[in-house]
Amino acid sequence: MALTGRFVVLLALGVVPVVLVGSEWALAGWVAIVVLLAAVDLAAAPSPRRVRITRDLPARVRLGESVRADAVLSNTGSRTIRGTVRDAWQPSAGAATTRHSLLLPAGERRTFSTTLTPFRRGERRSSSMTIRSMGPLGIAMRQATIFTPGYIRVLPPFNSRKHLPSRLARLRELDGRTSVLIRGQGTEFDSLREYVRGDDVRSIDWRATARRTDPVQGGPALVVRTWRPERDRRVVVIVDSGRTSAARIDSEPRIDTAFESTLLLAALASRAGDRVDVVVFDQRVRGRVQGATGADLMSRLVDTMAGIDPQLVETDWTAVPALVRSVTAQRALVVLATSIDSPGAARGLLAVLPQLTRTHMVLVSSVTDPSVLDAIHERANRTSVYRAAAAERALLDVARVSAAIRQLGAEVVTGSPEELPPALADRYIALKAAGLL
């Protein structure tokens, strides 16, 4: 049951008879009349319980995009329902409006569309719809809440996909290049082709040259071997979802930046023919994508990442070597998307790095705070000088941890939230070019 503004106005109009008659009985009479009218109106209102609801929702939406969420209301009763309907979306679903005015003739159905612009990853739900049905006099309404669960899956935005075309182009450049600079232990033999000026003379295949005679010039043409970057390597990304990943830098939590870099790296590596496996881990595995390739890999990645929030626990690094072993026994590029803040906090990471670097190529990627760099140059007054000193100390800590990581045989990639995903992709390409995978 709910009252309308008309009820209040009607009650307030009672001031006229009360003043004219000038007694308590006028008041009592008026209140009785209004209450009686409301009761009659309420009894005469069509039942909102006779409405059947189905939802028609998009299965997935990328964070930052808008989608249309439909709800189809059909009136199974015998009377027209007038009133209001409320769709109880969670606040972070970003519904443009949660209320619609309702006019539902008997036996008909209407679709109510709500534009959702979610502002958080994960499953955004609406568990029920509430319908208010107004009586013929419009002074009282019947209300019923109908349990209508529905949800949309909000995926990570993958904004860094704008970097993908340029990186793919650079990846293609690696293909078919002679081994001028890129020849290494891991490069694979690709094909033979004719020597052109500028090729490394060391890559001339004399045996092939001897076997071959140039059909046009008649004379022997030099033949060089070409190399392509090795394929079918393993890339294992471990995303740290522990408490340090809850830190927000430039309005983006660390874990979101880690997801962005992972997505870009996975897109790139799967195009380059490598196998990508991703595990999100803090004290236990929060998400795992293994053995997927191509489009399936990306959709499974975003689906897995959608629901993962940072956990306020310390990451258990001692379990990570075993985790990597469970993914692959081969040599792999192991990317640890975590944060390197202070020697104290990185102790767990540093302790297990030797185990990983023994068999794998390890890359530690971490977000740096651009405001720290800004703070160093801000020295206008006493407070800002102390702040600059603290910022220098923070950078020093990062530098020390980075140095320790490099000493243990791993590599470090750092960057601001916008820079880190392309930086990680570039490092991957560089490693691939150098044949270090």
Partner 1 sequence: MSQTVDEARVQFAGGTVTTPRLRSTARGLLYWIVIAIVLVIFGLSTVALTGTSQSKARLSGTNPGVDGAAALIAVLRQDGVQVYTPRTLDAAKSDAAADPHHTTVVLYDQAAVLRESQLKELSSVSPRLIMVDPGYRSSETLTPTIDEGGTSDSGILSAKCDLPGARRAGSVTGIQDLYRINGGDATGCFPEFSYYGLVRVTTAEQTITVVGGSTMFTNGSILQKGNAALALGLFGQSNHLVWYLPSAADATGKPDGIIPVPSWLTPVIVLAGLVLVSAGVWRGRRFGPVVVERMPVFVRASETLEGRARLYQKSSDRTHALDSLRIGAIGRMATTCGLPARASLDDVIGAIARVTGTSVAELRDLLIDELPATDVDLLRYSDRLADLESSVAKAVRPR
Positions 147 through 206 that interact with partner 1 (CB under 8 A): 147-150, 155, 161
* Cα 230 to Cα 431: distance, rounded to the nearest angstrom: 11
* Cα 217 to Cα 114: distance, rounded to the nearest angstrom: 73
Using CB under 8 A, pick the residue from 33, 37, 40, 60 that binds partner 1. 60
Nearer to partner 1, 189 or 386 (CB): 386
Place of tokens 């690709």: 190
Nearer to partner 1, 334 or 388 (CB): 388
44 binds partner 1 (CB under 8 A): no
Q: Which residues in the 219-248 window bind partner 1 by CB under 8 A? A: 246-248
Q: Shortest Cβ distance from residue 135 to partner 1 (Å)? A: 14
Nearer to partner 1, 166 or 191 (CB): 166
Number of neighbouring beta carbons within 10 Å of residue 24: 9
* Cα 437 to Cα 237: distance, rounded to the nearest angstrom: 14
Q: Which residues in the 79-98 window bind partner 1 by CB under 8 A? A: 84, 86, 88-92
119 binds partner 1 (CB under 8 A): no
Q: Which residues in the 261-300 window bind partner 1 by CB under 8 A? A: 267, 270-271, 294-295, 298-299
Using CB under 8 A, pick the residue from 292, 388, 404, 410 that binds partner 1. 388
Contacts of 99 by beta carbon, 8 Å cutoff, 6+ apart: 84, 85, 86, 87
Q: Judged by CB under 8 A, how many residues of this single chain contact partner 1?
A: 99
Q: Which residues in the 334-373 window bind partner 1 by CB under 8 A? A: 341, 369, 371-372
433-436 contacts: CB < 8 A, separation 24 or more?
A: 433/174, 433/181, 433/182, 433/229, 434/182, 434/184, 435/182, 435/183, 435/184, 435/185, 435/186, 435/187, 435/229, 435/230, 436/184, 436/186, 436/361
Number of neighbouring beta carbons within 10 Å of residue 99: 14
Place of tokens 């703070």: 375
Q: Shortest Cβ distance from residue 105 to partner 1 (Å)? A: 19
Q: Judged by CB under 8 A, which stretch of 186-194, 213-221, 315-323, 389-397 contacts partner 1?
A: 389-397
Using CB under 8 A, pick the residue from 97, 115, 127, 318 that binds partner 1. 127
* Cα 158 to Cα 264: distance, rounded to the nearest angstrom: 8
Q: Which residues in the 3-32 window bind partner 1 by CB under 8 A? A: 3-5, 7-8, 11-12, 14-15, 18-19, 21-24, 26-27, 30-31
Nearer to partner 1, 61 or 235 (CB): 61
